[in-house]
Structure 1
């Protein structure tokens, strides 16, 4: 198949494309944010959800650094003087194959992201000033190591809300922003049980909102979609 037709086929698989919602600074997200389109999996039962109120933040999360507060129905994280650790909060839960959706906004932070682990770090999906990445993690504390598996250059708009969708099944992970920018990573180290999700950032401020986690089940269309994602990944190298 000619290259142009392959690219067109790839784009058709991603339809319908959802445009990112521009949101005035400080206002709350819609009560029911739209579901981003999955590519690798199908959503199953809902495992966890937090729209981020003062009550849910206090009861569902443990703070391990930084200054975190709920403002107008969204979670804001930033550095804390003398904290000794980058801003980080954790929610403990058992999970393996999951779909994770969360809105985010960069508002001065140098980086932010989503981290998953058990007794060690396993995976991070990182949002930097000029890109987002899938990073394979290992170790803990002083032994922590990261290996970037995929990267997409981005030009983030300050004050704009984006939607991150992470699909994780077995050894494969797909991460996408606003149904348009798609990353792929795979490692046998991913095919493990996880016991926590962490929201992390560096700098002031990063915003998170409307986090939901579902069980993930196989999508029969994935076998046809995977080669096209791998083709796009090769072009990014």
Structure 2
């Protein structure tokens, strides 16, 4: 039996690698960060919430008394990049990938059971949060989903599970997004979620890519 185990394991690894969705807007370059998130690491700072390893994957849980999302950050210097990770929402109300610069938040991708949205994030100074289009795409809480986030100059593109149709992409641009980033962060709001297989690669422009037509941003609700 032993001679067959190693080839099967290698086949499983190779299949998982092939299954990773290809970036759309960018061409990936050298690796900047690769972490399977199977163990807690001092390279990550758990600023809020409770972060543990459960069933071999990273689990973040918000703590109600803190009145803040669970936050887990890794220092990393980059400007243009392709970021991929897998997430299982669990009972969390929302999870985010946060991109931050020297002054604070620069961009964010928010995922909920109903879908996801990329946005220019709030920032100290004249800039304020500006959401891009919502993508209505049910994300089953008990299922692993692959998130791809691409940053190229002022442009930000988010997709989930390899979807490529314009209506399934959250895309926008803002000068703030082009700022040199200093760290990446994962957050969990209102419950617990799990993460695995986070990678960050430097990125250059994909010459075959055409920006999607602008999609409507979510309408503001009166009184909010």
Report the secondary structure of 1:82's partner residue. helix
Report the secondary structure of 2:20's partner residue. coil
Aligned to 2:152: 169
Per-residue deviation at 1:236?
8.7
Per-residue deviation at 1:64?
0.8
**1:69 and 2:52 are equivalent in the alignment:** yes
Aligned to 1:26: none
Per-residue deviation at 1:144?
9.0
**1:35 and 2:20 are equivalent in the alignment:** yes
Distance 1:136 1:236, change over 3 A: closer
Gaps of 5+ in 2: 1-11, 220-224
CA distance in 2, matches of 1:130, 1:214: 28
Gaps of 5+ in 1: 1-29
**CA deviation digits over 1:81-130, x for unaligned, max 9?**
53343200110010000000000111100000100111211001001232
Aligned to 2:109: 125
Distance 1:235 1:185, change over 3 A: closer
Per-residue deviation at 1:197?
0.4
User: Is residue 85–residue 196 contact of structure 2 (8 Å, CA) maintained in 1?
Assistant: yes
Aligned to 2:31: 46
**What are the residue-to-residue correspondences of 1:1-237 with 2, within 5 Å?**
31=13, 32-33=16-17, 34-54=19-39, 57-118=40-101, 119-139=103-123, 145-180=128-163, 181-222=168-209, 225-226=210-211, 229-230=212-213, 233=215
Report the secondary structure of 2:65's partner residue. coil
CA distance in 2, matches of 1:235, 1:204: 27
Per-residue deviation at 1:72?
2.1
Per-residue deviation at 1:234?
5.1
Per-residue deviation at 1:59?
2.1
Report the secondary structure of 2:198's partner residue. strand
CA distance in 2, matches of 1:179, 1:98: 17
Per-residue deviation at 1:71?
1.3
Aligned to 1:7: none
CA distance in 2, matches of 1:235, 1:113: 18
Q: TM-score, normalised by structure 2?
A: 0.82
User: Is residue 103–residue 210 contact of structure 1 (8 Å, CA) maintained in 2?
Assistant: yes
Question: How many residues get paired?
Answer: 199
Per-residue deviation at 1:139?
2.1
Q: Which has the higher helix share?
A: 1
Report the secondary structure of 2:41's partner residue. helix
CA distance in 1, matches of 2:127, 2:80: 23
Per-residue deviation at 1:177?
0.4
Distance 1:144 1:74, change over 3 A: farther
Q: How large is the RMSD of aligned CA atoms in angstroms?
A: 2.2
